[in-house]
Chains A and B, each alone.
Chain A
Amino acid sequence: MSVKQITAFLENKAGRLLEVTEILSQNQVDLRAINIAETADYGLLRIIAKDSDKAEKVLKDAGVICTATPVIAVAVSDRPGGLNGMLKILAKENIDVNYMYSIFGHIGGLAYMILQVSDTENAKKVLIENGIGIAGAGDLGIN
Chain B
Amino acid sequence: MEKYYQKDMECASREEMVALQNKRLVEQVKHVWENVPYYRKKMEEKGVTPEDIKGIEDLHKLPFLTKDDLREAYPYGLLAKPLEECVRIQSTSGTTGKRVVAFYTQHDVDLWEECCARAIVAAGGTKEDVCQVAYGYGLFTGGPGLNGGSHKVGCLTLPMSSGNTDRQLQFMTDLGATILCCTPSYAEYLAESIHERGLRDKIKLKAGIFGAEAWSEEMRRDIENQLGIKAYDIYGLTETSGPGVSFECSEQTGMHINEDHFIAEIIDPDTLKVLPEGSQGELVFTSITKEAFPLLRYRTKDITVLSREKCSCGRTLVKMHKPMGRSDDMLIVKGVNVFPSQIEAVLLENGYPANYQIIVDRVNHSDTIEVLVEMTPEIFSDSLGKITEMEKNLVAALKAMLGIYAKVRLVDPKSIARSEGKAVRVIDKRKI
Contacts and interface: CB of A to CB of B under 8 A. Distances in A.
Contacts, number: 43
B382 A7 contact: yes
Contacts of A113: none
B381 to A, nearest CB: 7
A46 B376 contact: no
Contacts of A41: 409-411
Given A9-B375, A39-B388, A65-B375, A44 B382 contact: yes
A21 to B, nearest CB: 15
Contact of B411 (A11, A66, A69, A98): A11
Interface in A1-52: 5, 7, 9-11, 16, 37, 39, 41-42, 44, 46
Interface of A: 5, 7, 9-11, 16, 37, 39, 41-42, 44, 46, 63, 65-67, 69, 98, 116
Nearest to B388: A39
B82 interface: no
Interface stretch (B165-173, B396-404, B412-420, B424-432): B412-420
Interface of B: 375-377, 380-385, 387-388, 409-415
16 contacts: A5-B382, A7-B382, A9-B375, A9-B380, A9-B410, A9-B412, A39-B384, A41-B410, A44-B384, A44-B387, A65-B376, A65-B377, A65-B380, A67-B377, A67-B382, A98-B383
Given A41-B410, A65-B377, A67-B377, A11 B415 contact: yes
Contact of B382 (A11, A42, A46, A63): A46
Given A9-B375, A39-B388, A67 B412 contact: no
B411 to A, nearest CB: 5
A69 B382 contact: yes
B412 A16 contact: yes
B410 A42 contact: yes
A11 B381 contact: no
A46 B414 CA distance: 21
A114 to B, nearest CB: 12
Contacts of B409: 41
